[in-house]
Structures are given as structure tokens and as C-alpha cells.
Amino acid sequence: MSQDDYVAVNSRKKAYGLLPRQGRLVIEFLSAKGGVWKESQIMNHLREKWGRDGMDRGKITFFCRCVKDANGKHIFAVSGNRPRNIEYIPLNQR
């Protein structure tokens, strides 16, 4: 996760429906793995890493659609109908 991406979830309050640590987990997971992921795959990974269930697919999708980096560019590309496809956009392609 780059420093520009970290700015998006560097707060104490919820950011677009997710807690800051949940948002960091989403960004870290998708930036490390690359490729296109389904909402349910991301949710399963977060459940394993975080240790409990406290979110739904809609919150993950809303977060991914809304979150932007320090330059105001979208970090993720969300496409398709349910289950939606979510892809991390690398910094050099934004």
C-alpha cells in the first residue's frame, strides 16, 4: 500500500462505511494480490484477517467506489452486477 493510498483511510472515524483498519485491510489485500476480485472473496479475506464479521458486501463496494488517494484519483475500479468485480488500480495507471 503506497503512502498516497494510506491517506484515504488515515482517520479515527469510519471512512465510507468501513472502520479505518478495515479500509486498510481492503487496500492492502487488493494491492498485494492484484487482479479482479469478487466482493465475497474480499469479505472472506477480511473475516479471516480481522477475526470477526462486522460488514457486508455493500459496505465493501461502497468503500471501493468512493475512496480516493491523496491526488483525488479513485483507487479501485468497480464493475458489473452482483457479485461486483473490484480491481485495484496501481499508482502509475491513475
CATH number at residue 12: 1.10.10
Range of the domain at 15: 3-93
Sign for the pseudo-dihedral over CA of 15, 18, 19, 21: negative
Residues of the chain with pLDDT under 50: none
| Alpha carbon distance 35, 32 (integer Å) | 10
Q: State the pTM of this model.
A: 0.84
Report the number of distinct structural domains present in the chain: 1
Q: Residue 26 corresponds to which amino acid?
A: V
Q: Which three cell numbers stand for residue 77?
A: 475500479
* pLDDT given for residue 63 in this prediction: 93
* pLDDT given for residue 1 in this prediction: 63
